[in-house]
Chain A
Amino acid sequence: MNPRPTDATERPVQKAASGGPPPLLPLPTSASTSTSAPRESAGRTRQVELRDLNAFYGSHHAVKDVNLSFAPRDVTAIIGPSGCGKSTMVRCINRMHEEIDGARAEGQVLVDGTDLYGAGVDVVAVRRAVGMVFQKPNPFPTMSIRDNVAAGLRFTGAPRGEIDERVIGALKGASLWDEVKDRLDQPGAGLSGGQQQRLCIARALAVEPEVLLMDEPCSALDPVATLKIEELIGELKERVTIVIVTHNMQQAARVADTTVFMLGGELVEVGATHKLFTTPEDERTEQYVTGKFG
């Protein structure tokens, strides 16, 4: 409802580009550019903006008219009670939502001005640019640790010689390298839950996305593993724009710069995390963060 005012002033480019044709830094929309573009943009984070986003499961209206923007080098947490549409909204950002039978989304998701739902945008390219980590660690069960991380690279046509190097880079990026460097050829499914989730983060990082979506990434993990992931998020935000869905308000408070509160598919309040948790503007937000419902 109320995108943070700072965004408009900090990034006038976005405003200018908003109505017009796809601007200068489009997502890789064709196969030929998709292989090289993520490398060039390594380390560059992206501005993500949702405009009038609506999402449906059949006739169920799960996300209602959401307008929101995520700033680069920022971690944005989405909180709200179960079923409030937070996961659905995030899944719209890399167009995973439409994978579910009968699900559809309307509106715009702009990444540096390019509408991911626009004509000529390839969904595969979108997902390479906007990576995702899921609730339950889901490494490929038949693959070794190395192959898991390399899975995305192999298919994006990364040069053979570079793959090893980038696998190592991604594992280091996900703070997993020291734990697995001696057993890269062992199955990824043999790792602990927390390690598996970091393996999934490494797998997502390997294709060098510009935005990383995390859908309750710690909900299946113990506190120690959770802490490691949270530390990792702090490191990663220098490289990618991070959006994290969490049902854990303490987690949002620990990792996020900005927090978004959703309720019943609607966006209720957006604000700096500290402010949202201490002096929320909306009564419903206050009730939620003080544990009166949800």
Chain B
Amino acid sequence: MEAATQPMSTGGRPQLGRSPASRLPDQILRLGLTAIAVAVLALLAYFFVKLAIESRLVFEEEGILGFVFANNWNVAASIYGALPLVVGTLITSALALLFGVPVAVAVAVFLTELCPKRVRGSLTIVVDLLAAVPSVVYGLWAFYFLIPKLKPVEQWFADTFHFLPFVAIDSVPGPNYFIAGLVLAIMLLPIVCAISREVLATVPADLKEASLGLGLTRWEMIRTSMLPYARRGIVGASMLGLGRAIGETIAVTIVIGDSPILGHSIFGQGYTLAAVIANEFNEAAANPLHKSALIAAGLVLFVLTLLVNSIARLAVMRSERQSGRPISAGGGV
């Protein structure tokens, strides 16, 4: 900075100074990038405020808590309780993580550590290609193929393990939470897998050798050296996947059953925040309260995503503090 004010006066060493013109590109770059970064944040804040304003009507009608925690969404009766949607979103997302993340991490471990080098590249591309399938195609496939195939299995499971909580149901409907969770699991698999793979690839060789040199088997090495090191990145990957699962609309709309009342079984029909918006935005145009309710659903979805993300990050930070030095494997989202 001082050099800028008196650039040429450093006692016969003019080459140490720099003309203001030559500093310009740096400054433009810095300002430009700062502006873009600020714009992103501003956009986020704008969305939040706009959604909040537009949804005021329904909050005045139902109360904020009433809107979020009432278990009935009945447009005909002008009752807007989003609990079935919120819980439906959480259930399907949780199921998706439950089914999807272990498979994704397993595939990532296989690709980085066990896969023969020759097929690694092509296999990686195939897994990545899962992300290229449009979500509506997953929905269609699930509706016409997965649902009929799985229905007997679900019924058997529900009957056999009826004593478990949230399992029993008299007659399993075709579209339900479980199917939606399964479809979401397939959809979040490629992204969770891709990031986990990158993170696992950063596990230092000396850490792996520490395990192998100790006489641990490959699986024990993966458990002892690789997964703990990559944990933070894997959680980050799961959060990205979760973001996809929470917000996914079309595929879920097709296979969730559109039941506006909270079911009592994972095999029951349900609804999610995103699905209700996709289904009803058209008819809501003429009804200000309905429209405001849908926007409020969007706001809740927004807040839910932020909340889940923050909780997950906190959980990772806490577990890291307990285990001492933070494991910097990147990939934290």
Whether A142 lies near B229 (C-beta < 8 A) is yes
Q: Is A94 an interface residue (CB 8 A)?
A: yes
Closest residue of A by beta carbon distance from B208: A99
Binary CB contact string for chain A from 141 to 169 against chain B (1 if under 8 A, 0 otherwise): 11110000001100110000000000000
Whether B324 lies near A152 (C-beta < 8 A) is no
Query: Residue A187 contacts which of B204, B215, B324 (CB distance < 8 angstroms)?
Result: B324
Whether B324 lies near A189 (C-beta < 8 A) is yes
Which residues of chain B are near A207, meaning CB under 8 Å? Answer: 214-215
Closest residue of B by beta carbon distance from A28: B215
Number of A interface residues in the complex (CB < 8 A): 34
Whether B214 lies near A151 (C-beta < 8 A) is yes
Cβ contacts A to B, 13 pairs, < 8 Å: A96-B213, A127-B212, A132-B209, A138-B207, A138-B210, A140-B210, A140-B228, A142-B327, A143-B323, A152-B216, A155-B214, A187-B324, A187-B325
Q: Is B224 an interface residue (CB 8 A)?
A: yes
| Distance in Å: Cβ of B41 to nearest Cβ of chain A | 34
B6-33 interface with A by 8 A CB criterion: none
Range class of the B interface residue count: 20 to 34
Q: How far apart sit A4 and B282, CA to CA, in the bound complex (Å)?
A: 90
Which residues of chain A are near B217, meaning CB under 8 Å? Answer: 124, 155
B216-231 interface with A by 8 A CB criterion: 216-217, 220, 224-225, 228-229, 231
Whether B215 lies near A128 (C-beta < 8 A) is yes
Most buried by A among B210, B217, B231, B324: B210
A101-B117, A155-B220, A189-B324 as given contacts; A138 in contact with B209, CB under 8 Å? yes
Whether B327 lies near A141 (C-beta < 8 A) is yes
Q: How far apart sit A186 and B322, CA to CA, in the bound complex (Å)?
A: 9
Binary CB contact string for chain A from 219 to 255 against chain B (1 if under 8 A, 0 otherwise): 0000000000000000000000000000000000000
Q: How far apart sit A167 and B37, CA to CA, in the bound complex (Å)?
A: 52
B281-318 interface with A by 8 A CB criterion: none
Q: How far apart sit A202 and B119, CA to CA, in the bound complex (Å)?
A: 40
A136-B206, A138-B210, A140-B210 as given contacts; A155 in contact with B325, CB under 8 Å? no
Which residues of A come within 8 Å of B, CB atoms?
94, 96, 99, 101, 124-129, 131-132, 134-136, 138-144, 151-152, 155-156, 186-187, 189-190, 200, 203-204, 207
Whether A127 lies near B327 (C-beta < 8 A) is no
Q: How far apart sit A99 and B225, CA to CA, in the bound complex (Å)?
A: 15
Most buried by A among B204, B229, B231, B324: B324
| Distance in Å: Cβ of B322 to nearest Cβ of chain A | 9
Which residues of chain B are near A187, meaning CB under 8 Å? Answer: 323-325
Which residues of chain B are near A142, meaning CB under 8 Å? Answer: 228-229, 231, 323-324, 327
| Distance in Å: Cβ of A35 to nearest Cβ of chain B | 11
Most buried by A among B213, B220, B325: B213
Whether A140 lies near B212 (C-beta < 8 A) is no
Q: How far apart sit A141 and B217, CA to CA, in the bound complex (Å)?
A: 19
Q: How far apart sit A151 and B228, CA to CA, in the bound complex (Å)?
A: 13
| Distance in Å: Cβ of B131 to nearest Cβ of chain A | 28
Which residues of chain A are near B325, meaning CB under 8 Å? Answer: 141, 187, 189-190
